[in-house]
Amino acid sequence: MSDTNSETKITQHGQWSSRWMFVMAATGSAVGLGNIWKFPYMTGKSGGGAFVIVYLVCIALIGLPVLMAEISLGRRGRQSPVNAMKNLIAEAKASKYWVAIGWSGMLAGFLILSYYSVIAGWTLVYIFKTALGDFVGLPSDQIQGQFGVLVADPLQLIIWHSVFMLMVMIVLVRGVERGLEVAVRFLMPALLALLGLLLYYAITAADFQAGVDFMFKADFSKLTFGVFISAMGHAFFTLSLAMGAIMVYGAYLPKNISIATAAVPIVIADTAVAILAGLIIFPIVFANGLEPAAGPSLIFETLPVAFGQMPGGTFWGTIFFVLLAFAAWTSAISLIEPAVAWVVEKGVSRVSSVFLVGGLTWLVGLLTVFSFNELAFEFEFAGLPKSAGFFDAIDILTSIIMLPIGGILIAIFCGWIMPRAAIKEELELSGLIDRWWIASVCYVAPVGVSIVMIYLIFGN
């Protein structure tokens, strides 16, 4: 039996204490700011229930199989993504260049967190602004103007970027059992409780039926090729694939836990949170006569108008932004863990590793801070709408280039390069399910993700 076998090789970083701790941690990684606004908006604008059907098919054919592949590579390699890939390359007797999967994932997570932390800092600001009643009774132009004032102030952005990064590092210095597990044991139930509270408000006090119609009334006439591509792309990216996070979390998964029975709840929970978010947001938007909008403008400009107008808006708005902060926190922890694990494997203490990697992430994040003010500039890329500053440059580099390439390479390496017996040992699949997984990873996922990437770069 190979010395890289996950049954005999135990990670030096510790292990998850149970399957559900892994499921909660991986779900926390997948559930982030994008779930709260992007999936609901895409659903409402792309055919409602028809889009949901397409999305679920894409999850089954691409998202879930690649998620299982990345978990299996992580558990087989039992180290940070870079060193895990080195172990797997040795076992498969493959080219040393496959280590690029590890480097790409680790770097992508690092870069994504550098700007994600700045955006998450906005949610912290809005917790306090909402709780203090800053939006109550103000006209929409003044409320929206407050967001412009925030992003134009580099000092304020730096302060909240620093606070959020410190929150992340405090969790990570304590390791897997005492840090990551303790955090997700508190944060994920709290996130679900907050979702439940807000859903109760949306059902009882907002225009819930309008929100349901906006999201789920099937309009198959809107299912264009671009919508199919969007559904495929979101199915892939929403699960935090190819960022190193799932691979390193897989490295901490005990051998006696089934990867398949852990991966399915992650996909279900991630999708359920996204749907619940839409059922919360859009009833509030419609009840206040507002137009739904995509992206940060919905969260930081449109919704505060609603919270400022509705009864109990100070309370419910505060709960909403606390929810956002918790979702961002669980995602951010997973984005930086791969790089921290790699530095620890170099012989550096975990505390020093966390502050080294966290400090570098904070430093790179300053490029995003100044993208909105002092260093703002515009550029165009592959026909995409005009972009601004380092923030969009890093986002394009990671989401349109690094993550799709990483996902394709994970699927190919797991499906074609790794010994089939080794993967069978990790996944323990048989019969029709095994054939579904092989077909998805070997053929559907590489082709599908390649189409998404080509379309994003050249099809806009």
- pLDDT tens across 215-246, in order? 888 888 888 888 888 888 788 778 989 999 99
Report pLDDT digits (tens) over 265-294.
999 999 999 999 999 998 998 888 887 765
Of 348 and 175, the structure prediction assigns the larger pLDDT to 348
69: three-class secondary structure by DSSP: helix
Amino acid at 446: P
Predicted pLDDT at 405: 93
The average pLDDT across 398-412 equals 93
pLDDT over 70 (residue 422): yes
Predicted pLDDT at 241: 92
Report pLDDT digits (tens) over 62-117.
999 999 999 999 999 999 999 999 999 999 999 999 999 999 999 999 999 999 99
pLDDT over 80 (residue 389): yes
**Mean pLDDT for the chain overall:** 90
Look up residue 221 and give its DSSP letter. G
The average pLDDT across 197-210 equals 93
The average pLDDT across 426-445 equals 95
Residue 4 main-chain phi, psi, to 5 deg: -95, 0
Burial code (b: 16+ CB inside 10 Å, e: under 16) for 386-409 equals ebebbbbbbbbbbbbbbbbbbbbb
pLDDT over 80 (residue 388): no
Predicted pLDDT at 105: 96
pLDDT over 50 (residue 295): yes
Report pLDDT digits (tens) over 102-159.
999 999 999 999 999 999 999 999 999 999 999 998 888 898 899 999 999 999 999 9
Predicted pLDDT at 6: 44
pLDDT over 90 (residue 161): yes
Nearest 5°: the CA angle 407, 412, 417 is 140
Predicted pLDDT at 7: 47
Nearest 5°: the CA angle 117, 145, 133 is 80
Predicted pLDDT at 289: 82
The Cα–Cα gap between 318 and 334 comes to 25
Predicted pLDDT at 440: 96
pLDDT over 50 (residue 45): yes
The average pLDDT across 320-326 equals 94
Position of tokens 């779900």? 27
Q: What confidence category does residue 1 fall into, taking pLDDT thresholds of 50, 70 and 90?
A: very low
Residue 91 main-chain phi, psi, to 5 deg: -65, -40
- Indicate the length of the chain as a whole number: 460
Residue 188: C-alpha distances to residues 131, 154, 176, 256, 294 (Å): 22, 31, 16, 24, 25
Predicted pLDDT at 140: 85
Predicted pLDDT at 9: 61
pLDDT over 90 (residue 298): no
Looking at 93-180, list the stretches that DSSP marks H as alpha helix, in order from N- to C-terminal side. 100-131, 140-151, 154-172, 175
Task: Out of 13-27, 60-74, 377-391, 437-451, pick the least confident.
Answer: 377-391
What's the gap between Cα 318 and its chain centre?
A: 23
Helix axis angle, 19-30 to 181-205, nearest 10°: 60
Predicted pLDDT at 230: 81
Predicted pLDDT at 133: 94
